[in-house]
Amino acid sequence: MDPVKSRLEKKPVDYNGFLQEDKKDSSMALGRVDRGRSEVSTPPLESWREERTRSEEDNELNLPTLSAAYSTILRSLGEDPGRQGLLKTPWRAATAMQFFTKGYQETITDVLNDAIFDEDHDEMVIVKDIDMFSMCEHHLVPFIGKVHIGYLPNKQVLGLSKLARIVEIYSRRLQGCQALQVRAITSIYLVLNCNVPLSVSFSHMCMVMRGVQKMNSKTVTSTMLGVFREDPKTREEFLNLIRS
């Protein structure tokens, strides 16, 4: 059996108290991580690991239906999908939406195969400022931000570019930010059997463009696994490194 796949399927993860959340209106809040209980309900976690619900062929096949749906949306908004400026809009919007959600076409196994190396290296590995573009599952509007992710190797390391790829796969789906974090770090944790922290600062267009309409509102959340959850010093080291 595929080694990455078997590790992903291997063990259940205890998600209790998994998420730590720190909401602030400024990215200055990045360093503060409350260990309080999360208000976030646990995302459906068992089904995501090897999920590939779409293929290139599906995209092609579904494009007419998706475009037709966008025409309906335009009409329902009081627009005329037949007017010149909108003639190709349903098709463009459908293609764009397929791109925004292209994470459904990939699995973590695609990315991690051939990218895990044995190495006796025990320094914290961190990749900062990974751009994240995702879509909120409640309103289908974007949330965008920066992800800082790392891990403490346990005899094995990942190719560095893979951390960004993992974020990419999980962000290009419909979800909330918490689900994204949990999926990203759990996959690394399961595959490398190591400790993983992750911090995200993001702007949610739901908040910026509707509702409270706060232009500069940013949410900062952190998710930690293993020693990063248990040991304040290790956690602090991670947070200091991503701030520097």
Output the smallest distance, CB 219 to Zn ion, in A: 12
- With binding defined as CB under 5 A, does residue 139 bind Zn ion? yes
- With binding defined as CB under 5 A, does residue 136 bind Zn ion? yes
- With binding defined as CB under 5 A, does residue 49 bind Zn ion? no
Give the interface segment with Zn ion, choosing from 23-31, 35-43, 201-209, 230-238 (CB under 5 A): 201-209
CA–CA gap between residue 149 and residue 158 (Å, rounded): 12
Output the smallest distance, CB 205 to Zn ion, in A: 7
97 vs 206, beta carbon nearer Zn ion: 206
Give the interface segment with Zn ion, choosing from 19-27, 54-62, 103-111, 200-208 (CB under 5 A): 200-208
Output the smallest distance, CB 85 to Zn ion, in A: 27
98 vs 219, beta carbon nearer Zn ion: 219
Task: Give the number of residues in contact with Zn ion, rule: CB under 5 A.
Answer: 4
Give the interface segment with Zn ion, choosing from 146-154, 198-206, 207-215, 228-236 (CB under 5 A): 198-206
CA–CA gap between residue 160 and residue 127 (Å, rounded): 8
69 vs 206, beta carbon nearer Zn ion: 206
Token readout for 174 is 């419909």
CA–CA gap between residue 26 and residue 64 (Å, rounded): 42
- With binding defined as CB under 5 A, does residue 144 bind Zn ion? no
User: Is the CB of residue 112 less than 8 Å from the CB of residue 162?
Assistant: yes
User: Is the CB of residue 222 less than 8 Å from the CB of residue 19?
Assistant: no
- With binding defined as CB under 5 A, does residue 40 bind Zn ion? no
Output the smallest distance, CB 13 to Zn ion, in A: 26
- With binding defined as CB under 5 A, does residue 138 bind Zn ion? yes
User: Is the CB of residue 140 less than 8 Å from the CB of residue 170?
Assistant: no
Output the smallest distance, CB 40 to Zn ion, in A: 14
43 vs 150, beta carbon nearer Zn ion: 43
59 vs 203, beta carbon nearer Zn ion: 203
Output the smallest distance, CB 136 to Zn ion, in A: 3
Taking CB under 5 A as the criterion, the residue among 63, 69, 164, 206 binding Zn ion is 206
CA–CA gap between residue 231 and residue 122 (Å, rounded): 16
Q: Report the interface residues with Zn ion, using CB under 5 A.
A: 136, 138-139, 206
